Amino acid sequence: MIIYADNAATTKLSDKALKAMLPFFTDNYANPSSAHFFGQKAQDALRWGRFTVAKCLNAGANDKLIFTSGGSEADNQALNSIAQSGLKNNKKHIISSKFEHHAVLYTLEQLKKYGFEIELLDIPEDGIIEPSAVESAIRPDTAGVSIMLANNEIGTVQRIDEIGSICRKAGVLFHTDAVQAVGHIPVDVDNLNVDYLSFSSHKFHGPKGVGGLYVREGAPISSVINGGSQEFGFRAGTENLPGIIGTAVALEESLENLDYKIAQTTAVRTYIQNEITAIPSVKLNGDPLKRLPGNLNFSFEGVDGDSLRYLLEEKGICASAGSACNSSSSKPSHVLKALGLSDALSKSALRLSFDETLSIQEAVYIISSIKEVLSELWN
């Protein structure tokens, strides 16, 4: 038996998305910027893809949806747009949190070189940021705020709508990294009160190498890739049309019967969660309820995380310690360290991430395998 429990790293491309993409490799392969009828046919497909994704996010008619190479590029573009606006308005203070994805944290680190003051909020033990903490941090010179919607390692879901409302009242630009949330929980950009929202297709059964940045009407936007006039002039380079079509189809498909999918996934998650946390010396990382339906993150006292994951892999279970972007690093997770965990507990972590296709029989196998491996490691 092989069980893939690493959906937070990437998901399988859906059959429907693959089928929709194939004609754009072999038949309708023209450049959407070409003036001839063949190119305009591709342009029509691009418009359909943009309209479909925008509709899924409930974007307004005058909002922008810029297709990118993925979530990291979208995060970079949002933060650089906030910074450029801040420079024009003499506002050089940006607020974020200590457990953001490195695409955000490393970009903010770069902005320090241009005189920006970066304030990273502390993270409570449950992984839920209080909106009041953001409100207290806002100053007259605050250019923007960036808080992720759902954490990629521990799955906790933030009250982005409340944070967005606070930012809007203060006249501060607000970005959320929604890479882990889009396609898995309802994401309505209007209700969330965001100016910028990042997403990545391969997290919801779309293709790798494509994502996007939602930009609210009137929010300033700067390009990070210069050249041609593609993507409203804000992201140069010929569009990845097959990827965009796959993204649109995959997102539509992910949102079909979403309430059922959430209920099904949450039920299996709760079962695994209850069984594993009943084991002595096991800690669930993050709030037990305010988390993504298919995300669990545990730490195991006295256990080497690499050994745990290796032994589970021998049993056919593919899981991870946390972010796939940093899987080769020997350093403890910055997310778990932000929660206050020791280096040892941080390095013992196991993340299980899955969707509604994980059966109860597979869940039982995961539980029994973890118990067997722990018994072996502890003895």
Angstrom distance (rounded) from CA 184 to CA 307: 30
φ, ψ of residue 362 to 5 degrees: the values are -70, -35
Q: Quick one: tokens of 3?
A: 């069980």
Angstrom distance (rounded) from CA 200 to CA 137: 29
Q: Is 250:201 a contact under the CB 8 Å cutoff?
A: yes
Q: Quick one: tokens of 71?
A: 């979530």
Q: Specify whether 325 is catalytic.
A: yes
Nearby residues of 97 by Cβ (< 8 Å), 6 or more positions away: 120, 121, 123, 129, 147, 148, 338
Helix ranges restricted to H, the chain: 15-21, 23-26, 37-56, 71-88, 102-112, 131-137, 160-170, 189-192, 241-255, 258-277, 305-314, 334-338, 343-347, 360-378
For 27, 156, 240, the CA distances from 200, given in Å and listed in that order, are: 26, 18, 13
Is 312 buried (19+), middle (13-18) or exposed (0-12) by CB count in 10 A? Answer: buried
Is 58 buried (19+), middle (13-18) or exposed (0-12) by CB count in 10 A? Answer: middle
Angstrom distance (rounded) from CA 32 to CA 42: 5
Angstrom distance (rounded) from CA 115 to CA 105: 16
Closest CA to 100 of 158, 161, 164, 172: 158
Check 56, 167, 318, 325 and give the catalytic one. 325
Give the full edge-to-edge strand order of the sheet including 64-68: 64-68, 211-215, 196-200, 173-177, 142-146, 93-97, 117-121
Q: Quick one: tokens of 286?
A: 């993050």
Q: β-pairing, 295-300 with 282-284?
A: antiparallel
Q: Which residues are catalytic?
A: 325
